[in-house]
A and B are shown apart, each in its own frame.
Chain A
Amino acid sequence: MRLSQAWIVARHDLAMFRQKQGILIGLIAFPFGVGLGFPALVEVILSRSSTDATAWLPIYLQAFSFWFVIGSASLPTTIAAYSIVGEKISKSLEPLLSTPTTDGEILVGKGLAVFLPTLAGVWGGSTLFQLLIDLETRSVFGHLYYPNGMMIALLFLLVPLVILLAIEASVIISSHVTDIRSAQQYASIIVLPLILVYVASEVVLNLDLTTVLYMAAAFLAAVLALYAVTLRTFHREEILTRWK
């Protein structure tokens, strides 16, 4: 595996994404919408609340911060659909496969081109979120609420794993569909378990550091399990002879 070769593929794909307005808007709108929207909501709630916010505010903040995980599952599916199904539609995969680049290098290159902007978007949005929340709640808590252990685990452990899983799912789905929209729709199924966790967190589940670590372990297992399938799917001969 030559990372420099993979990086050539990644750089090219990143340059292609810059031409796609839909991708850019998605990458900015979702994380920064969450990063601005929830602090605005907190501001409204705090201004209207007369009770002790330290009792209930952490529960809200934990739930809000989980939206960055949901975003990190949905954003890569859009980008990966353009990266893989887009190339499949434009028939540019065969020339790419005929170059002295291994399947693994192409896969890593394409994966990086999806992983890096998604991570940058989510981290950017979450940084804005944490800054604004700290500004609003410093007087409430008497200290800076962020960064804390849960947010660090969420952003540096769970989010990267969720992005990886979404990329793997997108690659596998890309071999079975013939248009970008279908690829996005099928791959977005990966968001469903996260939505369930989010809903459960409102009712029965406490979204604390322990829960996040358990979830990270589950996602790591899923990432490893899908890795072999992804490699088998993104195989030169498979792409040229079996992909729809």
Chain B
Amino acid sequence: MIHTEGLTKQFGRLTAVDGVSLDIGEGEVFGLLGPNGAGKTTTVRMLTSLISTSSGRGEVAGCELGKESDALRLRRQIGLLPENVGLYEGSSAYENLEYFGRLYRVDPVTLRRNIERLLEMMGLWERRSVPVETFSKGMKQKLAIARALVHDPILLFLDEPTANLDPEAAKMVRDTLLELKQEKRTIFLNTHNLDEAQRICDRVGILRTKLLTIGSPSELRSKVFGTRTQIRLEQVTESIVAAVRARLGDRKVEVSGDLLSVEVENPDLDNPEIAAAIVAAGGRIRELSQPAASLEDVYLKLIHEEGRAA
């Protein structure tokens, strides 16, 4: 659905996005993570043909980026929720959707049906005729998502859909995104909410001008931190550490108080071996666990490493 090679955007001397290469499949929910100013919005604007690319190439929904004749065809097939919802506050929810449906050339019968379905889905049907200025932030965000869906796009771009929302409104929007995921829509989600990305996205990429890494949240966790087993013992002795090392070879073993942390490749195979080695060395196990680093840990590690390198 999305394929890019070395996508770059420069504003004068400033490089906003540097050599981003992506492959996003149909029905996938992809999250682009990064701090403010990392180039997330610029990337979305390039992918939606709102702005030109400085170099690199890309294809989105079968349309070539930068090709003038493909730009309108591309925009017809995609939906975009920009960071600022930009609704017409004096108009009703229905009028907002109707205007955009017309711009997308949806035939009147389908448009009426789509508007009704989307407003029902967002829980806004009862308030369809009320001016949008009376809506809460969460309701406005949901209406903006409905607007991006009014022409039934095959690909949806969402730029920070829960930014500046209170927790209740953010949950309201996240639930809507999960519903869209169940509909098997291809979604490109820009966010700096890591919990949101972890819950919603099939794969994530971490961007700081350059794409630092890409993969599923669990792949990234093991890629960046490896997989570890933690064993809480009654007492950690030199002989226990030596026994674990001898049983597993070159693995990294760390001791912190009564906690033994061992790097493992395959927990199903390695954990019984570790337990057997400890018991054979006279150790008594209180607890054995497989702690997983969060996406937040991965994100912070990569962003800080990149920050130091820069």
Q: In the complex, A15→B86 CA distance in Å?
A: 17
A102 interface residue, CB < 8 Å from B? yes
Residue-by-residue, is B231-249 near A (CB-CB < 8 Å gives 1, otherwise 0)? Answer: 0000000000000000000
Contact, CB under 8 Å: A94 / B90: no
Interface residues on chain B, size class: 20 to 34
Kindly provide the distance from the CB of B61 to the nearest chain A CB, expressed in whole angstroms.
12
B68 and chain A: residue at smallest CB distance: A102
- Segment of A132-140, A183-191, A234-242 engaged in the interface with chain B: A234-242
Q: In the complex, A239→B80 CA distance in Å?
A: 17
List CB contacts (< 8 Å) of B87-116 with chain A.
87-91, 95, 99-100, 102-105
Contact, CB under 8 Å: B86 / A241: no
A54 interface residue, CB < 8 Å from B? no
A99 interface residue, CB < 8 Å from B? yes
Note all chain A residues with C-beta closer than 8 A to B45.
240
Number of residue pairs A-B, CB distance < 8 angstroms: 68
Contact, CB under 8 Å: B51 / A240: yes
Contact, CB under 8 Å: B50 / A8: no
B52 and chain A: residue at smallest CB distance: A237
Contact, CB under 8 Å: A100 / B50: no
A50 interface residue, CB < 8 Å from B? no
Q: A5-B103, A236-B50, A241-B11 are in contact. Are A100 and B87 (CB under 8 A)?
A: no
A49 interface residue, CB < 8 Å from B? no
Note all chain B residues with C-beta closer than 8 A to A237.
50-52
Within 8 Å by CB of B104, from A91, A99, A102, lies A99
A181 interface residue, CB < 8 Å from B? no
Contact, CB under 8 Å: B75 / A100: yes
A99 and chain B: residue at smallest CB distance: B103
Contact, CB under 8 Å: B51 / A241: yes
Chain A interface residue count, CB cutoff 8 Å, equals 24
Q: In the complex, A92→B133 CA distance in Å?
A: 14
Residue-by-residue, is A174-201 near B (CB-CB < 8 Å gives 1, otherwise 0)? Answer: 0000000000000000000000000000
A90 interface residue, CB < 8 Å from B? yes
Q: A12-B99, A100-B105 are in contact. Are A95 and B86 (CB under 8 A)?
A: yes
List CB contacts (< 8 Å) of B48-93 with chain A.
48, 50-52, 72-73, 75-76, 78, 80, 82, 84-91
Contact, CB under 8 Å: B84 / A94: yes
Q: A16-B91, A237-B52 are in contact. Are A101 and B86 (CB under 8 A)?
A: no
Kindly provide the distance from the CB of A1 to the nearest chain B CB, expressed in whole angstroms.
12
B147 interface residue, CB < 8 Å from A? yes
Extra contacts besides A8-B103, A98-B80 (15): CB < 8 Å = A16-B88, A16-B91, A90-B88, A90-B89, A93-B86, A94-B86, A96-B86, A99-B100, A100-B75, A100-B103, A100-B104, A102-B72, A236-B51, A240-B45, A240-B51
> Interface residues, chain A, CB within 8 Å of chain B?
5, 8-9, 12, 15-16, 19, 90-102, 236-237, 240-241
| 6 A-B pairs closest in CB distance | A91-B84, A92-B86, A91-B86, A99-B103, A98-B80, A100-B76
